[in-house]
Copies of this chain bind each other. A is one copy, B any other.
Amino acid sequence: MTDALLAPRKWVTMQDVALAAGVSTITVSRVLRTPEKVKVATRERVAAAVRDLGYVPDQVAGSLSSRESRLVAALVSTLAGSVFASTVDGLAQSLRDEGHQLMLGTTEYSSASEQALIATALSRRPDGMVLTSGEHTPAARAMLAGSGVPVVEVWELPDDPIDMAVGFSNIEAGRAITEALYQIGHRRIGFVGGGIRRDGQSSEGDRRGRLRREGYEAVLAAHGLGEPRVVPNPTDGSMVERGARDLAALLERWPDTDAVFCSSDSVALGALSEARRRGIDVPGTLAVAGFGDFEMAGESGLGLTTVRIPGYAIGAEAGRLLLARKRGEATGPRILDLGFEVVRRATA
């Protein structure tokens, strides 16, 4: 076994199959791609040869020749503990259903590296591209536009989309959950998480958190609930740590706070834990709402009131849109708003 692995076998080519089946290569190609165009007898002979030789088509050659790669590239910040994991799942699924594959790149939160990744992705001549970031360098936008590759931006509804977009309004979502807290009867509502990083950079996640915060502030203003209760947050550490630390700081400054909206469920877990440590009754004394409806938020877990985002559907729709465009189908809406849903549970 060892030797076989160290000395890569030569791949079986279409030529080999053709020879074995006594036909030309193009016939083999047809059997594989459009079997109905080949006489049954021939088809079976070829199929047998394919099986016997263990032929695995070379998509690299195929792509070069046909000028379609059947590849879609997706760029995300990170996957670990990220809201994008389910979106990537959805995308992978919808692509697979149509015989396409997924190339994944991680930007690690830098839009400079996003630009570099876009370039390398384009070098594979992808049939489409999914971007989870909402901000792009001018150069990146130019490359994308110049390439003519269909692009879908997800998890946001940009004011100036590059091409297509699938997501929801972060501002509206922030507004909705804050309004829900208001309707329950809360009047001294704080906001935890989402802000500017200590290094001055604002990361993607933070940017969206900021949008949700705008929604939060809009509700406060609309109901005359006073100044926003938000602590400036150096955003190092995990989301959970930030939730715990920021809630502590917020309560120190505004001890009478009766509800907090956390920019993500992870942040909410930190806040919840901090409240428990302090012996604060939730939701009696302090209501806590999260964002994302992660697995841990459910009834059997945290029982967290939160906002559910259709992450999987966002990915699946992004894939569908891309492939529909490729097929040249009447392109539906370029901007698809999949909405969100406030989920009321025990913490608020």
Binding site for B on A (CB under 8 A): 1, 4-5, 7-9, 11, 54, 56-61, 63-64, 69, 71, 78-82, 85-86, 88-89, 92-93, 96, 99, 101-106, 108, 117, 119-125, 142-143, 145-150, 163, 238-241, 243-245, 266, 269-270, 273-274, 294-296, 298, 300-303, 311-312
Contacts and interface: CB of A to CB of B under 8 A. Distances in A.
A5 B59 contact: no
Contacts of A86: 79-81
B59 A123 contact: yes
A101 B103 contact: yes
B69 A79 contact: no
A11 B63 CA distance: 14
Contact of A298 (B89, B241, B294, B312): B241
Contacts of A147: 8-9, 11, 56
Given A11-B125, A92-B105, 19 more contacts: A1-B145, A5-B150, A5-B163, A54-B143, A56-B119, A58-B64, A60-B63, A60-B69, A79-B79, A80-B89, A80-B312, A88-B104, A89-B106, A101-B124, A102-B105, A103-B103, A244-B300, A244-B301, A266-B296
Given A145-B4, A240-B296, A240-B298, A78 B69 contact: no
Given A79-B88, A301-B270, A57 B123 contact: yes
Nearest to A272: B301
Contacts of A106: 89, 92-93, 96
A92 B120 CA distance: 13
